[in-house]
Amino acid sequence: GLGVHSQRAFADLPRLPLPVTDLLATETLGLPCFVDMTQGDVAYVCEVLDAIESIRHIERPSLNKAA
């Protein structure tokens, strides 16, 4: 993917080299997040993530922090 600085909305702004941002853009997944997001939207995103997890056999990280 592209870093947000590479998006069309920012095309008129000065371009700076952002190598870490560029690297992270290729290694992370951006999830939908917007003001009008409904519970149904959230549920759909979760369903898609579950489907991807099942297909790729990704082990979900534990949310419990060791004390």
pLDDT digits (tens, 9 = 90+) for 14-59: 988 999 988 988 888 889 999 999 999 999 999 999 888 888 776 6
Give the C-alpha distances (Å, rounded to integers) separating 33 from 45, 51, 56, 57, 67: 10, 19, 24, 25, 31
**Alpha-carbon radius of gyration of the chain:** 16
Asked whether the beta carbons of 24 and 1 are under 8 A apart, the reply is: no
pLDDT at res. 66: 62
